[in-house]
Amino acid sequence: MIHKGKHVLLARRAGRDPLAGKWEFPGGKLEAGEDGESCLRRELLEELGITVNVGRFLGSVEHDYPERHVELLFYDVEYAGGEVTPHIHDQIAWITIAELADYDLAPADVEFARKLLNDSASDAASNGS
């Protein structure tokens, strides 16, 4: 999850992708011998033209699509620089956690979004908001 202040970055899949039109937390596929942190730095530079600081591991989600099984690894990623320029997506959006419910997310991203929404609601409740 890439964040800048209180906003997180979503990107919408484009083209002929089976998930075209769905929003996702940007990331990428691990290459042989690559760890999650290195993968994120490389993929986000290639796909969005940005540099990031990869923080702690937040968890993983596994999902079965009709054509393949995926495991998404989520890290706390801080936007560090560069102009966000989507190369494989057709739109990007910086949104608050509360706004996640307004986006048509890719199925594999839904579970993590629910966790973020639940954590945000719990934080607000414990802070008296």
Half-sphere exposure (CA, 13 Å, Cβ side) for 69?
Answer: 1
- pLDDT tens across 58-95, in order? 999 999 999 899 999 999 999 999 999 999 899 999 99
Name the helix (H) or strand (E) containing 115.
Answer: helix 107-126
Domain 2-126, CATH homologous superfamily name and number = Nucleoside Triphosphate Pyrophosphohydrolase (3.90.79.10)
Q: How confident is the model at residue 120 (pLDDT cuts 50, 70, 90)?
A: confident
The predicted model gives 103-107 an average pLDDT of 97
118, 98 in Cβ contact below 8 A?
no
| C-alpha to C-alpha distance for 8 and 6, rounded to whole angstroms | 7
Instruction: Tell me the pTM.
Output: 0.89
| Residues found in the chain | 129
- 3-class secondary structure, 18: coil
Mean pLDDT of the chain: 92
Write down the pLDDT at residue 114: 94
Which candidate, 124, 103, 109, places its Cα nearest to that of 24? 109
The predicted model gives 27-55 an average pLDDT of 95
| C-alpha to C-alpha distance for 38 and 117, rounded to whole angstroms | 27
Torsion, CA 13, CA 70, CA 104, CA 25, rounded to 10:
-70
Q: In this predicted structure, which of 46-60, 75-89, 108-122 has the lowest mean pLDDT?
A: 108-122
Is the pLDDT at 129 greater than 70? The verdict is: no
The predicted model gives 8-31 an average pLDDT of 93
